[in-house]
Amino acid sequence: MKTTELQDRVAELVAPVAQSAGIELVDVQFAAEHGRKVLRIFIDKPGGVTIDDCGSISSELAVALDVDDFIPGRYSLEVSSPGLDRALNKIDDFARFVGSKARVKTTLPIEERRNFRVTIKAVEGDAVCIEDSTGRIWKIDIGKIESANIIAEF
């Protein structure tokens, strides 16, 4: 099973569990680190998630994963908040964080640039409007964004 297929299947299990607790599933990652497999689930809710939220989702998800048993071999399950540098994966993520600073990396260069440090200005359909430090507005289709993260400001 490809990692993306595995991530999609895990997301199908997590989403209803999280939603019933008023929690949003932000991301699912499956990686090999230091010779071990790690399944990471990132969750969030207005006001932030607590350790109890993470523990509750972890317990419920562990049972569901044991019942379906579709992940080959041993792995560690980690459930946590997305952190201050939260990844922006969906168009709704960008809409939620309009006005925030972000790092955006595109899949292919746009006018010889792939990396942008910007302010998220708006979402228009499947495109994200961002403003760079020079005041230039860029409109980038969500499908052309390789990765994006919030820049924490203090």
Task: Find the CATH number of the domain harbouring 106.
Answer: 2.30.30.180
pLDDT of 125 strictly over 90: yes
In a domain, 86, yes or no: no
Together in a domain, 61 and 106: no
pLDDT of 2 strictly over 60: no
pLDDT of 24 strictly over 50: yes
Side-chain half-sphere exposure of 113, counting CA atoms within 13 A:
10
Together in a domain, 25 and 56: yes
- Would you say 61 and 73 are in contact if contact means Cβ atoms under 8 Å apart? no
What tens digit of pLDDT does each residue of 30-66 get? 888 888 999 999 999 988 899 999 999 999 888 888 8
In a domain, 85, yes or no: no
Average pLDDT, the chain: 91
Mean pLDDT of 18-33: 89
- For position 62, which CATH number holds? 3.30.300.70
C-alpha angle 102-105-111 in degrees, rounded to nearest 5: 110
Mean pLDDT of 8-17: 88
- pLDDT at position 1 is 38
> What is the CB neighbour count within 10 angstroms for residue 123?
18
- Given 47, 80, 113, which residue is the final one in a domain? 80
Q: Comparing 94 with 20, which gets the higher pLDDT? A: 94
Least confident of 63-72, 87-96, 130-139: 63-72
- pLDDT at position 77 is 93
At how many degrees (to 10) do helices 3-20 and 51-68 cross? 130
- pLDDT at position 3 is 55
pTM confidence score: 0.77
- pLDDT at position 71 is 83
Together in a domain, 73 and 99: no
pLDDT category of residue 126 using cuts at 50, 70 and 90:
very high
Together in a domain, 9 and 29: yes
**Cα 120 off chain centre by:** 16
In a domain, 138, yes or no: yes
Together in a domain, 23 and 74: yes
Together in a domain, 71 and 37: yes
- pLDDT at position 17 is 86
For the chain, how many structural domains are there in total? 2
In which domain, by residue range, is 144 found?
91-150
